[in-house]
Amino acid sequence: SKMTVKAVKMPCTAPNVYTKVPDGGWGWTIAFAFFFVEALTYGIIKSFGVFFNDLMESFDETNSRISWIISICVFVQTFTAPLSTVLSNRFGHRFVVMAGGVLISTGMVTASFARNVVDMYVTIGVISGLGYCLSFLPTVTILSQYFDKRRSLVTAVASTGECFAVFSFAPAITALKEQIGWRYSLLSVGVLQLSIVICGSLLRPIIIKEQEVKAPPPEEPSETKYMLENEQTRTSIESIDSGVEITTSPSNVPGKTKAEPKSEEPKEHVQILVENNSTPPEPKSKLLDFSVMRDYSFICYALFGLFATLGFFAPSLYIIPLSLSLGIGKDHSAYILSAMAIAEVFGRISAGWVLNKKPIRKIYIELICVVLLSVALFAFPFASEFWGLMTCSIFFGFMLGTVAGTHIPLLAEDDVVGIAKMSSAAGVYVFIQSLAGLAGPPLAGVLVDTTQNYSSAFYSCAAGMVLGAVFLSLVRPCKAGLCHRQQQCAEESAAEVVPDLPDDFIEMDIGKAENSGKGCDGV
């Protein structure tokens, strides 16, 4: 007897069980939580540029040494991505995100008491960086599991949290610094980030179970019925043709010459098949699947992420110093950063809306956006006054939104790895990005210190983005070539195998019986 599962109201801590991907339901709550996680992780990282000049004056350090704070933070965040994947698969997304929120808040609050830049490296770079990883990646992963058709649009809209954070945090922190100083402002940010724990508590796991279909009464399938009909035919032929045995019963084995009576063994065989099909063994899931590294399309996509990361963080960190070097006031500089954030909101929503259209090759849309983002980065050095810089920032923000909000969710597309390997692929992908996250801001800082010109930072970002576009253009050809090779190998192996003709066709049985009858007549 089979157990009937009744639908009951589950508490907030229990997993959600669906027969298919819901494309909504509790997923809307997950999207709401992801919005605030984005705001309190990447939003704070991108707004950290408002502290740059204060830290340089307080610690008497250069641009490049202060840039290492965010570099170490981004490096730890991306380098520990596989750890985040393993912990999420082992302990669940909820616990990992809540632990990450505690680490982020602890690191930021402790940094407000730092005595030198090395203390900042440890507190914000290592402690908060690890917390950022544990908070962000599990949230975006579980959000992708709750949506299928709407995945691109929902993820893009939810990821606008960081844009609204930059829009609101940059002017707010700037005004707060004027009142209470940068240390207490940093302390306030750390306390605010503790609310990530609340967002993490909302991440209910999801289980997709196929709808249970009642097994029909034990009835012979068509093939078994066919064999039984052949057996009956064999019996009638044997009674006429001198008792020569011609049998195709599955219960017999080659070499037997004695006829056996009919039994219920075929029916028992059918019953075993039904029971086995009703409860298939569940495959054991791996904590981290590195098999994606054998996929050439994923390797190209990971290299795209590696070089594109060079252009993700440095512009938002150096836009305020660049505007100050052009003689633009602090208030107007903060407005430029806020305008970039608002444009990024529209970019994310637009990209999500376009990618939600079907049929569409999403990887090509991403490539177009990356090329335009490279153009935006090259345009910054040609801006010489407020409105020119504002125009470049708006264009850059819009194009950044189209790429930043979609490059991780695109891993779930079949052109890259697919939804089945999304969790492990995201961990490995972000891990590979860690090298660029570590090298990007310091490289830009060294160029600025060497050339005494902030434009060089934007040139280095643009060069990385162009390389990223080259590797992104190779993703689809690699995937198509791999599928073609697999299909070709399958066809070759199928051609080599000569199928054995079954002996249970009634025509063959009759033919055998006739031949045997002729042989007996001739004796």
Return averaged pLDDT per consecutive 10 residues of the chain, 523 residues in all: 40 63 82 91 85 87 83 84 85 91 94 92 93 89 81 81 82 88 92 93 79 55 51 46 42 45 44 41 56 80 86 74 81 81 85 75 86 90 86 90 79 73 75 74 79 83 90 85 57 55 50 51 47
- CA–CA gap between residue 291 and residue 137 (Å, rounded): 20
Q: Which CATH architecture has domain 289-495?
A: Up-down Bundle (1.20)
pLDDT at 120: 92
Beta carbons of 487 and 211 less than 8 angstroms apart? no
For the domain bounded by 12-210, which CATH number is listed? Answer: 1.20.1250.20
Map out the domains of the chain as residue ranges: 12-210, 289-495
Instruction: Enumerate the β-bridge partners of residue 206.
Output: 16
pLDDT at 236: 44
pTM of the model: 0.61
- CA–CA gap between residue 298 and residue 289 (Å, rounded): 13
Structure tokens at 523: 């004796």
How many CB atoms neighbour CB 60 within 10 A?
Answer: 10
Q: Which of 81, 74, 110, 112 is nearest to 96 (CA)?
A: 81
- CA–CA gap between residue 350 and residue 153 (Å, rounded): 9
How many CB atoms neighbour CB 115 within 10 A?
Answer: 9
pLDDT at 485: 57
pLDDT at 310: 78
- Whose tokens are 């407005």? That residue is 335
pLDDT at 6: 39
- CA–CA gap between residue 254 and residue 258 (Å, rounded): 11
Instruction: Enumerate the β-bridge partners of residue 207.
Output: 17
Considering just the CA atoms, what is the radius of gyration of the chain in Å? 32
Structure tokens at 496: 């080599």
- CA–CA gap between residue 139 and residue 36 (Å, rounded): 11
Structure tokens at 10: 């589950």
- CA–CA gap between residue 135 and residue 1 (Å, rounded): 44
- CA–CA gap between residue 419 and residue 292 (Å, rounded): 12
- CA–CA gap between residue 78 and residue 64 (Å, rounded): 20
- 45: phi > 0 → left, psi -120 to 50 → alpha, else beta; which? alpha
- CA–CA gap between residue 508 and residue 500 (Å, rounded): 14
Alpha helices by DSSP H, listed for 50-128, are 52-59, 63-79, 81-91, 93-111, 117-120
CA 177 to chain centre: 38
Beta carbons of 429 and 299 less than 8 angstroms apart? no
Angle at 360 between CA 356 and CA 364, to 5 degrees: 105
